[in-house]
Structure 1
Amino acid sequence: MDRPHSTSAPRVRRSRAEQKRETRDALTVAALVAFTRDGYHGASLEGIANEAGFSKGAVYSNFGGKAELFLAVMDYNLGALRGADWDPLAMPEASGSGAPEPSAGHDEDPARMVRGFGLAMLEFIATAARDDTLIHSLRARVQVLIDAYGRVAAAGRPDDEELPVDEVAQLMAALEQGATMLALSGAASIDSALLRTGLRRLVTPAAAANEPSPVRDAHASPLPDVERVRRLIRDTIDS
């Protein structure tokens, strides 16, 4: 009598490198949540490990400590929010006419996430600025942001522009980060429409100067990246 053949797919064994990568990714995402909620100093490695479903030892097996884990979260954010398709000058994607609008609770979550991580970032910058080794790692991540703006500046550069691309990129990054600082302090707010106008004036001053003043959106978040975070969450839910 023939033995029945199993119809289930054969189980694929993951390599040690794949397992390590999955563990590292899970810890990075858990750390993003913890730093956003509790701040850089308030988040604990044990709590992050628990959220990811691992022991504290798993953190030290993959990262040198809290600072290295925070740098990994920065890398994750730079990849997700400053990917190849990133265009800070483009209008946010409009929802489909038949798509339901997000509820107030869901709409506030991305803004809360961006604000929470922005505050954690300020804590980390203050710590890194006092550490001769850590400051170099921070500068490398900031340079990734500047380089991303450099690609945008180079693509839209007018023929008569005299400022070098890297200087325009630094000004664009400074404008965005300055807008974030104003929003986090509560001193003032620059909504996304005004920020896009300012960035366009740095890239194409003559053309942007003739544009009409941006229409301020009373419901828009003053923090950059909120709309992109909202889109990432929506894409994750849809998938």
Structure 2
Amino acid sequence: MAQLRDPLSRQDRQQQTREALIVAARGVFSEDGYHGASLDRIAREAGFSKGAVYSNFSGKPSLFLAVMDQNLELAKADVRDPFEQPANPASTGRDLAAREGYPLEATQGFALATLEFIASAARDTKLAPQLHHRLSTVLSHYSEIAQMARPDDETLPASDVGKLLAALDQGAGLILLAGDVLPDPAVFYAGMRRLIDPARAASEGRTGG
């Protein structure tokens, strides 16, 4: 009797295992922090042995970077012109912190774990270049937003405006983590608009557009 063949290739199964580990890792890092998270728990949450982690990642830093990369991919899909945002978004300041679609507590938890990782990786000669590469990707994301709505007479390069947008957005996130306080969403988006096109932002503010 002929045996049924597994429709999934070895590569497909490995990819599924990798994705499951990344999902589990995000949850564990969010709950336990970067330093507190254990690979044993991550593997257990994903339904695998610890060996499966080392079959796909070189260690905890590599796994954390993979989670960061997944978050960056989600952010790329959410590039929007701030001038297309409603004047009075229905979302709250808390919703702003959970734009990726995860619960607020998980989003805050992973943000705190990211701060731990940055503090550690920035001092590591092997990890620092990989961290800088992710930072460049983040800045490119904001530069794309700046390029999308920049006025014809703008003299600042889109990359510089992108850095200012990153400072506003990431700074707001740090304030949320430290004190659970964010500006009203309408004010937040007004700030982004003023950085990208001050004249248009002021004009639309006067007309209520």
Query: TM-score with structure 1 length normalisation?
Result: 0.74
Q: In 2, Cα distance between the equivalents of 1:155 and 1:186?
A: 32
Change (3 A) 1:35 1:88: farther
Select 1:153's aligned residue among 140, 146, 150.
146
- Work out whether residues 46 and 56 of structure 1, in 8 Å CA contact, stay in contact via their aligned partners in 2: yes
1:126-148 Cα distance to aligned partner (Å, 9 max, x none): 00111111111111112111111
AA matched with 2:168? L
Aligned length in residues: 191
Match of 1:70 in 2: 64
The gaps in structure 2 that reach 5 residues or longer are 92-101
Say which SS state the counterpart of residue 40 (structure 1) adopts.
helix
Q: Tell me the CA shift for residue 188 of structure 1.
A: 4.5
- Work out whether residues 161 and 195 of structure 2, in 8 Å CA contact, stay in contact via their aligned partners in 1: yes
Match of 2:167 in 1: 174
Select 2:113's aligned residue among 120, 129, 132.
120
- Aligned-pair RMSD on alpha carbons? 2.3
Q: Tell me the CA shift for residue 205 of structure 1.
A: 1.2
Select 1:20's aligned residue among 4, 14, 22.
14
Match of 1:45 in 2: 39
Overall identity of the aligned pairs, in % = 51
More deviation, 145-154/66-75? 145-154
More deviation, 120-129/137-146? 137-146
1:70-106 Cα distance to aligned partner (Å, 9 max, x none): 00000111112331x42262437869xxxxxxxxxxx
Q: Tell me the CA shift for residue 204 of structure 1.
A: 0.8
Match of 1:130 in 2: 123
Q: In 2, Cα distance between the equivalents of 1:155 and 1:189?
A: 25
Note if 1:186 corresponds to 2:198.
no
1:21-43 Cα distance to aligned partner (Å, 9 max, x none): 11000000000000111111111
Change (3 A) 1:94 1:186: closer
- Work out whether residues 81 and 148 of structure 2, in 8 Å CA contact, stay in contact via their aligned partners in 1: no
Structure that is richer in helix per residue: 2
Q: In 2, Cα distance between the equivalents of 1:188 and 1:16?
A: 47
Q: Tell me the CA shift for residue 11 of structure 1.
A: 6.0
Q: Tell me the CA shift for residue 50 of structure 1.
A: 0.2
Q: In 2, Cα distance between the equivalents of 1:46 and 1:187?
A: 32
Select 1:55's aligned residue among 46, 49, 53.
49
Q: In 1, Cα distance between the equivalents of 2:19 and 2:180?
A: 36
- Work out whether residues 26 and 52 of structure 1, in 8 Å CA contact, stay in contact via their aligned partners in 2: yes
Say which SS state the counterpart of residue 182 (structure 1) adopts.
helix
Q: In 2, Cα distance between the equivalents of 1:191 and 1:61?
A: 45
Change (3 A) 1:88 1:34: farther
Match of 1:104 in 2: none
Q: In 2, Cα distance between the equivalents of 1:120 and 1:191?
A: 25
Change (3 A) 1:88 1:134: farther
